[in-house]
Structure 1
Amino acid sequence: MPVKNFEDYIEKHPQWEHELIQLREVILSTDLKETIKWGAPTYTLNNKNVVSLGGFKNHYALWFFNGALLKKNTSLLVNAQEGKTKALRQIRFTKEDKIDSPTLKTYIEEAIELQKEGKSVPIQKNKELLIPTELTQYFQKNPEMETSFHNLTKGKQREYADYIREAKRSNTKDKRLEKIKPMIINQVGLYNKYK
C-alpha cells in the first residue's frame, strides 16, 4: 500500500507511532509544510526539502537534507552513509531515547534559516564514471544491454555502475545485474520510480 499521508506512514511503522507523532508536532510548530516524498513524511519550505522522518526496524530518525551545513547544532547529527552522503544528516533515536523537543526545534530552525538563505551543499559535477568489471563482462554477453547503457545519460549510467560496485558479494552483484538488465534495455533510470 503506497503511503499517501502521515497516517499511512504510521500504519507502516506502528512501533514508532508515539515517537513519530511527537517529532511531527515539533516540526509542524515551525513554518514547514508536510508532504510525502519517497514514501516518507517530508517537510518543506517553499517546496524545498528541509527535514524528513524515518522509521526503521531498530530506530527512527529525523533527517536534515542539508544537515552538513548546520554549524550551531551538530552534536546529535550523524552521516547515515559515510563517504556516500554529502549533504544529508540525521538524528537517530531508539526506544530508550527521550525526545528533547526544544533542542530538536533549534536544529530544525537552523535548517529552515539555511533554506531561507538559499544555502545548499554543492552537487559534485563531472564525477568520473567508473564501470565495474562485472558490468563490463556482462556487456560482453549482452551487447543490446551495452548499447542501451551507453544511450543513457551519464547520471543514470553512474547510478547503475555504483549500484553494482557497492554490492559486496559476487552473488549479490549477479542478482543486481539480472535485475537492472530490463531496466537498462528499456532506458529506465535505476531510481525513476522515486522521482
Structure 2
Amino acid sequence: MTNRSMNPKVDEFLSKATKWKEEYVKLRNIVLDCELSEEFKWMHPCYTFEKKNIVLIHGFKEYCALLFHKGALLKDAHGILIQQTENVQAARQIRFTNVQEIVEMESVLKAYIYEAIEVEKAGLEVNFKKDREFTIPEELKNKFDEIPALKTAFEALTPGRQRAYILHFSSPKQSKTRESRVEKCIQKILGGKGLNDCTCGLSQKLPNCDGSHKNIR
C-alpha cells in the first residue's frame, strides 16, 4: 500500500454522491491498495497505470460497478465479468448491489485488478471487430429487401456511419421499436447522410437539425 494519493475531484464526487456512496468509498480503497493512480475521467473515478486506463468506478439505478477497460482480455476465473451490451467489445463490469458484496469479494477484486495491470504491462490490445462484422438487424435487412436502393445507399456510407446506424437500430429490445427507428432513418440513408448528419445540406455536424438554418449564408 505504497500509493494512496487521493484526487480532490474524486473527493468532491463522493461528497455529492446520493446513492452508492458507501460502496464507492470501499471500491476506491480497494483500488488504491493496488497502487494505481487516481484520476477523474468521464465524470467518474478512474484508475490508471502509467497513464493507461485500468478500471473505473461507476453506478446506475440498480447497481454500482468496477468497469475494466480491457476486461475482455481478463481470464475471469470466477465468472463475474459482465458485458454491458453485445456491442461493447473491450470493457467488462463487476457489479454490486451492496457494500457487503464488495467486502466479501475484496481479495478477488484485487486479483482481477492486478491481472488487468499485467495485461497493460504486456501491451495486450483488444482485437476490435471491423465495422462490417457487426450484425445487421433483421428489421434493416427486411427494408433492404423491400427497398433495394436503401441497401445500395447504406453500403455507400462510410464504415463509421454504417456502424452508428447499426448500433442505433440494434439497441432497442422490441422489434417494433427497431422497425420504427429504421423507418425514421430511411430518407437520411437514401440521402447519403449519417445518423447525426444535418439534413439541410449545409452541414454534416449539426445533430437533430430541423433545417431552420438552411437560409443562413
TM-score, shorter chain, exceeding 0.5: yes
Residue number among 149, 163, 172 corresponding to 2:168 in the alignment? 163
> How far apart in 1 are the matches of 2:47 and 2:80?
19
For residue 196 of structure 2, what is the amino acid of its counterpart?
M
Residue identity (%) = 31
| Residue 69, structure 1, aligned to residue 69, structure 2 | no
**Which residue number corresponds to residue 9 of structure 2?**
5
Structure 1 counterpart SS, 2:75: coil
> How far apart in 2 are the matches of 1:183 and 1:11?
36
**Which residue number corresponds to residue 196 of structure 2?**
183
The alignment yields a C-alpha RMSD, in angstroms, of 3.7
Q: What does 1:76-155 correspond to in 2, within 5 Å?
A: 76-81=80-85, 83-95=86-98, 97-99=101-103, 100-128=105-133, 130=136, 132=140, 153-155=158-160
Instruction: Please list every run of 5 or more consecutive structure 1 residues that lacks an aligned counterpart in the other structure.
Output: 141-145, 191-195
**Which residue number corresponds to residue 20 of structure 2?**
16
**Residues 67, 57 of structure 1: alpha-carbon distance in 2 compared, 3 angstrom cutoff:** same
Cα deviation, residue 84, structure 1 = 2.7
Cα deviation, residue 133, structure 1 = 6.1
**Which protein is bigger by CA-based radius of gyration?**
2
Q: What does 1:31-42 correspond to in 2, within 5 Å?
A: 31-42=35-46
**Which residue number corresponds to residue 43 of structure 1?**
47
Cα deviation, residue 8, structure 1 = 4.5
**Residues 187, 47 of structure 1: alpha-carbon distance in 2 compared, 3 angstrom cutoff:** farther
**Which residue number corresponds to residue 210 of structure 2?**
none
Q: Is the 8 A contact 2:26 2:102 kept in 1?
A: no
Task: Note the alpha carbon deviations across 1:134-183, whole angstroms, 9 max, x for none.
Answer: 9989xx9xxxxx89x966x42243123321232235457657958x9883
Q: Is the 8 A contact 1:62 1:91 kept in 2?
A: yes
> How far apart in 1 are the matches of 2:96 and 2:88?
19
**TM-score, scaled relative to structure 2:** 0.64
**TM-score, scaled relative to structure 1:** 0.70
**Residues 25, 188 of structure 1: alpha-carbon distance in 2 compared, 3 angstrom cutoff:** farther
Task: Note the alpha carbon deviations across 1:80-119, whole angstroms, 9 max, x for none.
Answer: 22x3333322111112524232321111011001101011
For residue 30 of structure 2, what is the amino acid of its counterpart?
V
Larger deviation, residues 61-70 vs 92-101: 92-101
Structure 1 counterpart SS, 2:101: coil
Identify the structure with bigger relative contact order (alpha carbons < 8 Å, sequence gap 6+).
1
Structure 1 counterpart SS, 2:93: strand
Q: Is the 8 A contact 2:87 2:167 kept in 1?
A: no
**Which residue number corresponds to residue 193 of structure 1?**
none
> How far apart in 1 are the matches of 2:43 and 2:128?
24
Instruction: Please list every run of 5 or more consecutive structure 2 residues that lacks an aligned counterpart in the other structure.
Output: 1-7, 186-192, 208-217
Cα deviation, residue 58, structure 1 = 1.6
